[in-house]
């Protein structure tokens, strides 16, 4: 049978999602052709805001890249807008003349930003916020211009304004009404939002009527009805969107505000389907993705000729994607006749929560400052649950209810068809099934398999709960211990938040996670400093004042306040020149003790703090660098002489040790990290009590991990055996990176492995080749920022000079 | 009574950091908090003499680098459960310059405490 032809116009979120749904249930039914006006694959439009704010790259937001289409035999005409539909001949005609015939046509042309009909609205520098081009224009403007004006204080406008501000522009948001986001927020929450955005540096002109954009060749200023003018190198209009229906209208397909479709997503021409923002269903147009996913599912079902499923409209909820601001709204949040409001205000924590309730059923919700329960309220709303039994405590959130055991609401009590991820329309049953069938262990895996939590991220908490409840044999995960007294959050929560919200400084973590002390304490500051540095290498700010003294001055403090200096000796090798320099330094600075350490290098003990930079300068001159004997970092790589000299040696253990040390020196780790390479199983370098140890054998290299000679001795576990030095390096980098990313601060590899299990580490390093490569790549990437000799920097006098000199001598 | 010595600019001390002032009677640690308050304590921990200037400043407290005792910056008192006290010295901040008050011997009780 010849396949039928399906043509999709609009290579965007709704259209391609419909294709994905269709291919999942009827992969061979159609030959598919896609026309897209944009010259690329399909990307996640929602995430343009983080791209603008510099929190994500364009590559990271692609959903379907070009190979995706090719692999499925889909012909993609990217960059070729369709100009005309010939319904008689059943053809579409693109701008460049490409023609494609269809048996079924799917329109998913999205919408266009509405541009205010004012003079100057077509000047260069005046744009909407809709696609990658717009973001690129804004980023370019931010590089050259200073002032940006965003017209429209809704969701989109605020995300644009925040992004432009992050890019260094001075941004004014102009809004006609007196309250922001009036479609999602009541005035109390809107006011909290405005104040907090103002604190971050946005300016607002409320109740302002824009009259014109001024400028000759390019936008220069914005004028208001009252005559006020403000400078503008860039004007972003975010006053609303308009369904993109020109094409359908021209073809005589019935449209009102959008293309009118029925419950099976068919237009008035039964061969023509439509989904997404371009449609009008039961009088309603949507501007958010969750309804589109539901439409896509139903539409695909009908395209596949299964003929079941009707689309009956969607309730929607929204979340503002401005890092550091938690805002959630759903349903009717302003109340009305017969409605009551339940309100909780906690100004100290910056929290405002309101539920609108009618006859004990939730009609709407606005949450500000604490949105963890957003999805729970949204579920109560959609299911019309009677909340009479827990009405007094409902605002304390659902964790509270579970704790008090009143009704035991937990994610596991939710129905299988309860939606967990609103963005992607994934219900609980699908997630649980994926976790059990595919043996998933991490949120990333769940994301990859089900798409739940892959868009805005607000459902991540629920997905985690599902994981915990499904994977763990025990029914209740114990509450994790707080990092320190300054917070209730655990190490893992802090780190996850740093990663998910791209927090790159201590201050950002304290603010975002609502630290209970103004600047932390000696326990949390070093930990968080490590977490931000290791999560965002090259980007996070290293806060010297949050490092323990040894790492701050790059030497070990001794009990009398003097310091020790340990230069690096790669793989334990040295030579006469280095030894001579060490001897000279010891004489010149009258260093009382010189000792050979167990890490195969030389320790100079009793150096006065003021002398440190000069000692380092002399050692640097002989080619030596810091040994990081003071750091939570790579210490040494101990080696034996190996096959170069030893009659038992099977491989060049010394050479391999030097290579490993050259690769890993300078890296910060949760706790100290020691390595060793022995040339044969006699194991003279004691590799089996190291964090990472290599024992050479005739046929290759055994890799051992998680050893420790400390207070509690622990022999290593055998991770695997490999054949080449390059593999040893790759496994070493990957293992270190996994520990760097997942070990808790001040947790050595030994307790870490006992906590997570050797099987887990094996599954990540040995079982998952792609994962291992990615870890190794991340390790190498972060090393480019780490391998700077801290001694040379300080010996030059340009870095932290104040650390080494007294402030004053009096008397 | 105090002799006042100008010891330098506020900005010479990093926020949440400390610098040392050398005096004939030993080192004095001068601390700066996040909100630009300054405090001076003798640079010897009451526990085992650790150099407090090398510790971590948080809030209005300092953690000693050797064994993590925590002391109040204003009084020098150790935070419970530890017991002990580091001598504190008066400071004045004028036009961004810091002045340190050192006892000149006329106030015997303070001096006695200092050498104890
Ligand atoms: C910056 C931003 C942030 C957002 N944040 C959120 C959010 O947090 N949550 C949320 O739920 N929603 C959000 N949205 C809305 C969401 O992105 C849209 O609802 C969704 O993308 C609509 O999907 P669609 O397929 O209908 O339209 P689109 O994704 O816009 O796809 C339509 C595609 O059709 C193409 N096209 C149009 N005409 C033609 C033609 N004649 N020929 C060929 N191709 C054509 C267009 O170029 C476009 O690529 C956001 C939108 C933006 C712009
Ligand atoms: C568990 C508590 C331990 C503590 C607190 C500790 C502390 C230290 C300190 C402070 C130094 C630096 C000395 C200096 O140069 O100033 C050091 C060095 C060293 N320690 Fe430990 N150590 C511990 C356990 C161990 C164990 C179990 C081993 C060996 C099995 C070990 C081996 C070494 C070696 C080899 C060095 C020299 C390191 C180098 O050359 O860089 N340590 N240790
Ligand atoms: S470990 Fe083996 S190769 Fe290395 S020195 Fe000892 S005996 Fe020789
Ligand atoms: S709800 Fe947005 S990603 Fe799941
Ligand atoms: S010397 Fe200060 S805590 Fe021990």
* Both structure tokens of A87: 């319904």
Contact B30 A809 (CB under 8 A): no
Alpha-carbon separation of residue A676 from A603, A746, A786 (angstroms): 19, 21, 21
Strands lying side by side in the sheet with B38-42: A808-809, B17-23, B26-32, B38-42, B88-89
3-state SS, residue A213: strand
Residue A476 predicted with pLDDT over 90 = no
Complex confidence, ipTM: 0.74
d(CA A517, CA A622): 46
CATH number of A4-110+243-303: 3.50.50.60
pLDDT tens per residue, range B2-36? 888 989 999 999 999 999 999 888 899 999 999 89
Q: Using a CB-CB distance cutoff of 8 angstroms, which residues of chain B are in contact with residue A544?
A: 14, 17
* Both structure tokens of A591: 């260093």
pLDDT tens per residue, range A107-143? 999 999 999 999 999 999 999 999 999 999 999 999 9
pLDDT on residue A401: 53
pLDDT on residue A379: 83
Contact A519 B34 (CB under 8 A): yes
CB of A649 sitting under 6 A from ligand 3: yes
Whether the full predicted model's pTM is greater than 0.80, yes or no, is no
Averaged pLDDT, A81-92? 96
pLDDT tens per residue, range A236-273? 999 999 999 999 999 999 999 999 999 999 999 999 99
Q: Does residue B79 sit at the A interface (CB-CB below 8 Å)?
A: no
Q: Where are the beta strands (DSSP E) in A611-724?
A: 634-639, 673-678, 692-697, 700-705, 717-722
Residue appearing with tokens 């109040």:
B72
Contacts A–B by Cβ distance under 8 A:
92
Averaged pLDDT, A421-434? 83
d(CA A352, CA A811): 58
- Boundaries of every domain in chain B: 2-115
Q: Does residue B45 sit at the A interface (CB-CB below 8 Å)?
A: no
CATH number of A411-471: 1.10.10.1100
If one counts every other C-beta atom within 10 angstroms of the C-beta of residue B10, the result is: 16
CATH number of A126-239: 3.50.50.60
d(CA A72, CA A114): 36
d(CA A527, CA B98): 32
Q: Using a CB-CB distance cutoff of 8 angstroms, which residues of chain B are in contact with residue A560?
A: 49
Burial grade of A811 (CB within 10 A; 0-12, 13-18, 19 or more): exposed
**Chain B, 82-111: which have a CB under 8 Å from a chain A CB?**
100, 102
Rg (CA), chain A: 31
Contact A525 B20 (CB under 8 A): no
Report CA torsion sign: A742, A746, A750, A751.
negative
pLDDT on residue A730: 96
d(CA A720, CA A726): 14
- Write the DSSP assignment of A17-50 as a string of letters: HHHHHHHHH-TTSEEEEEEESSSS-EE-GGGHHH
* Both structure tokens of A374: 């957003």
Domain with CATH 3.90.480.10 in chain A: 550-621
Q: What angle do CA A219, A220, A224 make, to 5 degrees?
A: 95
Q: What contacts A422, CB < 8 A, 6 or more positions away?
A: A290, A317, A375, A378, A458, A459
Inter-residue contact A741 to A726 (CB < 8 Å): no
> Which ligand is closest in space to the CA of residue A558?
2
Residue appearing with tokens 């006042």:
B4
Residue A666 predicted with pLDDT over 80 = yes
d(CA A299, CA A311): 8
Report CA torsion sign: B13, B16, B17, B22.
positive
Q: Where are the beta strands (DSSP E) in chain B?
A: 2-9, 17-23, 26-32, 38-42, 56-58, 61-63, 70-72, 88-89, 91-94, 97-103
Domain with CATH 3.30.390.30 in chain A: 326-401
Through-space distance between the first and last CA atoms of chain A, rounded to whole angstroms = 102
Of A548, A559, A807, the CB nearest to B7: A807
Distance from the alpha carbon of residue A213 to the mean position of ligand 1, in angstroms: 26
* Both structure tokens of A100: 């494609």
Confidence band for A400, pLDDT divided at 50, 70 and 90: low
| β-pair partners for A48 | none
pLDDT on residue A388: 82
Could you tell me how far CA A271 lies from the centroid of its own chain?
A: 41
- CATH fold, domain A326-401, is Enolase-like; domain 1 (3.30.390)
Residue B71 predicted with pLDDT over 90 = yes
Residue B111 predicted with pLDDT over 80 = no
d(CA B109, CA B104): 12
Confidence band for A409, pLDDT divided at 50, 70 and 90: very low
What's the gap in Å between the CA of B27 and the closest CA on chain A?
A: 9
Distance from the alpha carbon of residue A475 to the mean position of ligand 5, in angstroms: 45
CB of A646 sitting under 6 A from ligand 3: yes
Q: With CA atoms as reference, report the closest residue to A149 among A214, A70, A216, A102.
A: A214
Residue A748 predicted with pLDDT over 80 = yes
Contact A522 B70 (CB under 8 A): yes
- Interface probe with A: pick from B58, B59, B105, most Cβ of A within 10 Å: B58
| β-pair partners for B61 | B58, B72
What's the gap in Å between the CA of B82 and the closest CA on chain A?
A: 16
d(CA A198, CA A325): 12
Q: Using a CB-CB distance cutoff of 8 angstroms, which residues of chain B are in contact with residue A518?
A: 34-35, 59
Q: With CA atoms as reference, report the closest residue to A206 among A221, A192, A191.
A: A191
CATH number of A550-621: 3.90.480.10
Q: Where are the beta strands (DSSP E) in A303-360?
A: 317-319, 327-331, 340-346, 351-358
Residue appearing with tokens 């006699």:
A682
d(CA B72, CA B78): 6
Confidence band for A457, pLDDT divided at 50, 70 and 90: low
Contact A525 B24 (CB under 8 A): no
d(CA A594, CA A241): 74
Inter-residue contact A38 to A76 (CB < 8 Å): no
Q: With CA atoms as reference, report the closest residue to A723 among A711, A713, A731.
A: A731
Residue A402 predicted with pLDDT over 70 = no
Q: Using a CB-CB distance cutoff of 8 angstroms, which residues of chain A are in contact with residue B70?
A: 522
Pairing of strands B97-103, B91-94: antiparallel
Contact A545 B102 (CB under 8 A): no
Strands lying side by side in the sheet with A126-127: A126-127, A234-237, A147-151, A170-175, A203-206
d(CA A449, CA A457): 15
Position with higher pLDDT, A750 vs A462: A750
Domain with CATH 3.50.50.60 in chain A: 4-110+243-303, 126-239
d(CA A132, CA A144): 19
Main-chain dihedrals φ then ψ at residue A542, nearest 5 degrees: -80, 120
pLDDT on residue A458: 66
What's the gap in Å between the CA of B111 and the closest CA on chain A?
A: 16
pLDDT tens per residue, range A291-312? 898 899 999 999 999 888 889 8
Confidence band for A405, pLDDT divided at 50, 70 and 90: very low
Contact B51 A557 (CB under 8 A): yes
- Of ligand 1's atoms, which has the minimum distance to the CA of residue A94? 42
d(CA A112, CA A117): 14
pLDDT tens per residue, range A508-563? 999 888 888 888 999 899 999 999 999 998 888 889 899 999 998 899 998 888 99
If one counts every other C-beta atom within 10 angstroms of the C-beta of residue A42, the result is: 26
Q: What contacts A608, CB < 8 A, 6 or more positions away?
A: A562, A563, A589
Q: What angle do CA B22, B27, B28 make, to 5 degrees?
A: 95
The yes or no reply on domain A634-786 and CATH 3.50.50.60 is no
pLDDT tens per residue, range A683-740? 999 999 999 999 999 989 999 999 998 777 889 999 999 999 999 999 999 999 999 9
Q: What angle do CA A197, A198, A204 make, to 5 degrees?
A: 100
The yes or no reply on domain B2-115 and CATH 1.10.10.10 is no
Averaged pLDDT, A388-396? 79
Contact A802 B16 (CB under 8 A): no
Torsion angle of alpha carbons A501, A506, A510, A516, nearest 10°? 150
Confidence band for B113, pLDDT divided at 50, 70 and 90: very low
Residue A674 predicted with pLDDT over 90 = yes
Q: What contacts A559, CB < 8 A, 6 or more positions away?
A: B48, B50, B66
Distance from the alpha carbon of residue A481 to the mean position of ligand 2, in angstroms: 28
What per-residue string of b and e applies to A102-140 under the rule 16 or more CB within 10 Å gives b?
A: bebbbbbbbbbbebbebebbebebbbbbbbbebbebbee
Distance from the alpha carbon of residue A426 to the mean position of ligand 4, in angstroms: 9
Confidence band for A403, pLDDT divided at 50, 70 and 90: very low
pLDDT tens per residue, range A329-382? 888 887 788 888 888 887 777 788 889 999 889 999 988 887 778 878 888 888
| Closest residue, chain B, to A804 (C-alpha) | B19
Could you tell me how far CA A32 lies from the centroid of its own chain?
A: 34
Q: Using a CB-CB distance cutoff of 8 angstroms, which residues of chain A are in contact with residue B61?
A: 521
Q: With CA atoms as reference, report the closest residue to A207 among A180, A177, A173.
A: A177
* Both structure tokens of A655: 């050479």
d(CA A462, CA A36): 35
pLDDT tens per residue, range A563-576? 999 999 999 999 99
CB of B66 sitting under 6 A from ligand 5: yes
| β-pair partners for A355 | A342, A365
Average pLDDT, chain A: 89
Lowest-confidence region among A26-35, A171-180, A308-317, A747-756: A308-317
- Write the DSSP assignment of A417-481 as a string of letters: TSEEETTTTEEHHHHHHHHHHTT--SHHHHHHHH-TTSSS-TTHHHHHHHHHHHH-SSSSPPPPP
Inter-residue contact A365 to A381 (CB < 8 Å): yes
- Write the DSSP assignment of A72-119 as a string of letters: TT-EEEET--EEEEETTTTEEEETTS-EEE-SEEEE---EEEPPP-ST
Domain with CATH 3.30.413.10 in chain A: 634-786
Lowest-confidence region among A84-98, A784-798, B11-25: A784-798
Contact A802 B19 (CB under 8 A): yes
């Amino acid at each position: 049978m010849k396949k039928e032809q399906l043509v999709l116009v609009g290579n965007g979120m709704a259209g391609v999602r419909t294709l994905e749904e269709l291919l999942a249930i009827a992969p061979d039914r159609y030959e598919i052709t896609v026309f897209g006006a944009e010259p690329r694959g399909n990307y996640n439009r929602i995430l343009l805001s983080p791209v603008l704010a510099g929190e994500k790259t364009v590559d990271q937001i692609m959903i379907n890249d070009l190979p995706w289409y090719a692999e499925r035999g889909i012909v993609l005409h990217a960059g070729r807008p369709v100009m005309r539909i010939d319904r008689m001949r059943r053809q579409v005609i693109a701008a460049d003349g490409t023609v494609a015939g269809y048996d079924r046509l799917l329109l998913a042309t999205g919408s266009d930003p509405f541009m205010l009909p004012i003079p100057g609205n077509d000047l260069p520098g005046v744009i909407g916020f809709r696609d990658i081009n717009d973001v690129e224009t804004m980023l370019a403007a931010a590089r050259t211009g200073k002032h940006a004006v965003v017209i429209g204080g809704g969701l989109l406008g605020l995300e644009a304004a925040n992004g432009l501000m992050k890019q260094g522009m001075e941004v004014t948001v102009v809004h006609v009404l007196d309250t922001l986001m009036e479609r999602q927020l009541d005035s109390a929450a809107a006011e909290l939002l405005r104040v907090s955005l103002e604190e971050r540096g946005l300016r607002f002109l409320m109740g302002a009527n824009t009259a014109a954009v001024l400028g000759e060749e390019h936008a220069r200023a914005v004028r208001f009805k009252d005559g006020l003018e403000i400078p503008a190198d860039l004007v972003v209009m975010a006053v609303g969107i308009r369904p993109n229906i020109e094409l359908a209208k021209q073809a005589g397909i019935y449209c009102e505000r959008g293309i009118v479709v029925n419950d099976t997503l068919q237009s008035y021409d039964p061969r023509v389907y439509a989904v997404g923002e371009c449609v009008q269903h039961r009088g309603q147009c949507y501007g958010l993705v969750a309804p589109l996913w539901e439409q896509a599912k139903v539409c695909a079902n009908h395209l596949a000729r299964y003929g079941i499923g009707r689309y009956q409209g969607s309730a929607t909820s929204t979340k503002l994607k401005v890092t550091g601001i938690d805002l959630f709204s759903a349903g009717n949040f302003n109340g009305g006749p017969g409605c009551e409001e339940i309100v909780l205000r906690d100004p100290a924590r910056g929290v405002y929560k309101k539920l609108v309730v009618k006859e004990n059923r939730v009609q709407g919700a606005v949450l500000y400052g604490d949105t963890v329960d957003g999805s729970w309220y949204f579920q109560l709303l959609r299911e019309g649950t009677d909340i009479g039994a827990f009405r007094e405590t409902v605002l304390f959130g659902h964790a509270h209810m579970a704790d008090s055991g009143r009704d035991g609401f937990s994610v596991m009590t939710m129905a299988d068809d309860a939606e967990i991820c609103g963005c992607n329309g994934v219900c609980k049953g699908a997630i649980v099934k994926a976790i059990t069938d595919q043996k998933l262990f991490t949120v990333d895996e769940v994301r990859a398999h089900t798409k739940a939590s892959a868009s805005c991220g607000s459902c991540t908490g629920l997905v985690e709960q599902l994981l915990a409840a499904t994977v763990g044999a025990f029914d209740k995960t114990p509450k994790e211990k707080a990092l320190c007294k300054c917070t209730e959050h655990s190490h893992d929560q802090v780190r996850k938040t740093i990663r998910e919200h791209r927090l790159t400084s201590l201050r950002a973590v304290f603010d975002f996670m609502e630290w209970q002390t103004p600047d932390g304490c000696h326990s949390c500051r070093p930990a968080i400093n490590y977490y931000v540095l290791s999560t965002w290498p090259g980007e996070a700010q290293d806060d010297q004042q949050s490092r323990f003294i040894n790492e701050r001055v790059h030497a070990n403090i001794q009990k009398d306040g003097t310091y020790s200096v340990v230069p690096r000796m790669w793989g334990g090798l040295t030579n006469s020149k280095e030894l001579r320099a060490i001897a000279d330094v010891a004489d010149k600075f009258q260093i009382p003790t010189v000792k050979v350490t167990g890490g195969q290098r030389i320790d100079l003990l009793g150096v006065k703090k003021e002398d440190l930079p000069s000692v380092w300068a002399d050692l640097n001159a002989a080619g030596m660098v810091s040994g990081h004997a003071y750091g939570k970092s790579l210490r040494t790589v101990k080696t034996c002489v190996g096959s170069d000299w030893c009659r038992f040696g099977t491989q060049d253990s010394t050479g391999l040790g030097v290579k490993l040390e050259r690769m890993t020196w300078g890296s910060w780790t949760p706790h100290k990290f020691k390595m060793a390479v022995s040339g044969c199983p006699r194991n003279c370098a004691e590799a089996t009590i190291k964090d990472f140890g290599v024992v050479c054998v005739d046929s290759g290299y055994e890799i051992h991990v998680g050893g420790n000679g400390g207070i509690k001795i622990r022999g290593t576990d055998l991770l695997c055996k490999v054949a080449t030095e390059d593999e040893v390096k790759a496994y070493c980098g990957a293992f270190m990176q996994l520990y760097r990313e997942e070990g808790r601060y001040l947790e050595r590899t030994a307790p870490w492995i006992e906590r997570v299990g050797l099987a887990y580490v094996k599954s990540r390093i040995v079982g998952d080749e792609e994962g291992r490569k990615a870890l190794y790549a991340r390790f190498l990437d972060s090393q480019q920022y780490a391998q700077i000799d801290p001694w040379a920097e300080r010996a030059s006098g340009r870095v932290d000079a104040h650390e080494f000199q007294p402030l004053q001598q009096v008397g | 009574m105090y002799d006042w010595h100008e010891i330098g600019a506020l900005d010479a001390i990093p926020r949440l950091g400390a610098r040392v002032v050398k005096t004939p009677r030993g080192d004095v640690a001068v601390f700066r908090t996040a909100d630009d308050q300054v405090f001076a304590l003798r640079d010897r921990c009451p526990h085992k003499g650790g150099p407090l200037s090398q510790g971590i400043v948080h809030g209005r407290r300092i953690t000693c680098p050797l064994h993590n005792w925590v002391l109040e910056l204003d009084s020098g008192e150790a935070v419970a459960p530890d017991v002990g006290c580091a001598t504190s010295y008066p400071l004045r901040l004028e036009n961004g310059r810091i002045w340190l008050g050192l006892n000149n011997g006329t106030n015997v009780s303070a001096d006695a405490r200092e050498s104890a």
